[in-house]
Amino acid sequence: MKRPCDHCHKERAALKRPKTSEQLCKACFYSAFEEEVHETICKTKIFRRGEAVAIGVSGGKDSTVLAHVLSLLNQRHDYGLQLFLLSVDEGITGYRDHSLDTVRRNEQQYSIPLKIVSYKDLYGWTMDEIVKQIGTKSNCTFCGVFRRQALDRGAVLLNADKIATGHNADDVAETVLLNLIRGDLPRLARCTNIITGEDSPLPRVKPFKYTYEKEIVMYAYFKRLDYFSTECVYAPFAARGAARDFVKQLEQARPRAILDLITSGESFRIGDTAQLKLPTPGNCTRCNYISSQPVCKACVLLEGLNSGQPRLGVARSRGSKKKGNPTPPGATPLPAVPSHPASSIHIEPLSLFCVYSAAMDHS
């Protein structure tokens, strides 16, 4: 016979909590999971009453659970947030089309309005078309850069104040490790910030910063949430490989290791030399997107695609001084994106870092 729940001592335990090793019944697990996210939101003050929040939803487990939990906590604790679902359709047949079906169902299930923006409309290219040009070697670079901008542009169209993403504690711990391995001190110092996006028009927040991936999967499973669990067809091995495996091994030996890695990252402070490396944000001269270079990375990549030299932007690490309109025939010119005051937030180009690490993995 199973032992009783460590919290309520009434119901029988249904699971062992990965984060704490406690034996809990389902109800106590849901409550612990949700209230920890609530505590993170309150302590870090990532939301203000009345704000419009665009939740970046891919249809995957993390963002689906995020949409579910934010909607629930918004009602339960009366945050006064206006929530939206925001999806980027990268144009990947057999992957994103299916996950978008999930997101459309989520719109009904959670009664949260959904906006979908597509690479085809914004840039004139789908990822399927890009992969035909570039192959599967540097495709993640294009996808990451385009997705970041697409999320920003979608959120601006929604008049959102913030973007919330489903990045979890495992993601943050991996980023700490990767920055440490690469000796990237400025990024190491920033990568644990819960509010990021100084290099974007809108702040980005990670309510799951302290939430373990395993618990997100358990929560989704026990609550029978409707999510899509297939890997991207173009990047089944791109995801941070060794760092991910290492974090999982550490967690197996000692569950607290994930939180400890985050705490180590948080304790890091950079000196003046490293501070000098931080780029100064300006605006892209072509599309007006916030950029530390005269031409933003997306425009450089587009220029390469449209001129039949798709490796152009991949080979160059940053920016381009070439002139010309990168918008292809038939594509919507990119709408102007306002910038937000840099002083009001911390910076952490986590998504850009994913792109960077994917590029490193492929190189």
Ligand X SMILES: Nc1ncnc2c1ncn2[C@@H]1O[C@H](COP(=O)(O)OP(=O)(O)OP(=O)(O)O)[C@@H](O)[C@H]1O
Residues placed in the known binding site for ATP: 56-58, 62, 88, 166, 171
Query: Smallest distance, Å, CB 29 to ligand X?
Result: 19
Q: How many residues bind ligand X (CB under 6 A)?
A: 15
Stretch touching ligand X by CB under 6 A, among 25-33, 165-173, 273-281, 288-296: 165-173
Measured from the CB atom, the residue of 202 and 295 that comes closer to ligand X is: 202
Q: What is the largest CA-CA distance in the chain?
A: 72
Residue closer to ligand X (CB basis): 17 or 61:
61
Q: Which member of 167, 204, 214, 297 binds ligand X (CB under 6 A)? A: 167
Which of 5, 17, 53, 62 binds ligand X (CB under 6 A)? It is: 62
CA–CA separation, 297 and 317 (whole Å): 9
- Strand pairing partners for 84? 54
Q: Which is nearer to ligand X, 61 or 297 (CB)?
A: 61
The distance of closest approach from Cβ of residue 230 to ligand X in the complex, given in angstroms and rounded to an integer, is 10
Is residue 217 classed exposed, middle or buried when 0-12, 13-18 and 19+ CB atoms within 10 A define those classes? middle
Q: Which of 24, 25, 46, 57 binds ligand X (CB under 6 A)?
A: 57
Q: Kindly list the distances between the CA atom of residue 18 and the CA atoms of 10, 218, 258, in Å, as whole numbers in the listed order.
A: 21, 9, 11
Q: How far is the CB of 144 from ligand X (least distance, A)?
A: 9
Judged by CB, which is closer to ligand X: 28, or 216?
Answer: 216
Nearer to ligand X, 167 or 187 (CB): 167
CB of residue 56 to ligand X, shortest distance in Å: 3
Confirm or reject binding of residue 126 to ligand X (CB under 6 A). Answer: no
Nearer to ligand X, 40 or 63 (CB): 63
Task: Give alpha helix (H) positions in the chain.
Answer: 26-44, 61-76, 96-110, 119-123, 127-134, 139-157, 169-182, 185-190, 213-222, 241-253, 257-267, 272-275, 297-306, 312-315, 350-362
Nearer to ligand X, 25 or 119 (CB): 119
Q: How far is CA 311 from the centre of its chain?
A: 25
Among 251, 263, 88, residue whose Cα is nearest residue 172: 263
Residue numbers belonging to the annotated binding site = 56-58, 62, 88, 166, 171
Task: Report the distance separating Cα 48 and Cα 8, nearest Å.
Answer: 33
Least gap, CB of 147 to ligand X (angstroms): 6
Q: Report the distance separating Cα 140 and Cα 146, nearest Å.
A: 10
Applying CB under 6 A, the span of 85-93, 271-279, 306-314, 320-328 interacting with ligand X comes to 85-93
- Shortest Å distance, C-beta 25 to ligand X: 26
Of 23, 40, 58, 291, the one binding ligand X by CB under 6 A: 58
Q: Is 349 in the site for ligand X (CB under 6 A)?
A: no
- Tell me which residue has tokens 């994930």: 258
Measured CA to CA, the distance from residue 321 to residue 313 in angstroms comes to: 12
Strands 114-118 and 82-89: what pairing?
A: parallel
Q: Does 88 bind ligand X (CB under 6 A)?
A: yes
User: Can you read off the two tokens belonging to residue 125?
Assistant: 């290219």
CB atoms inside a 10 Å sphere around CB 108: 10
Interface map 129-148 toward ligand X (x if CB under 6 A): ------------------x-
Which residues contact ligand X (rule: CB under 6 A)?
Answer: 56-58, 60-63, 86-88, 147, 151, 165-167
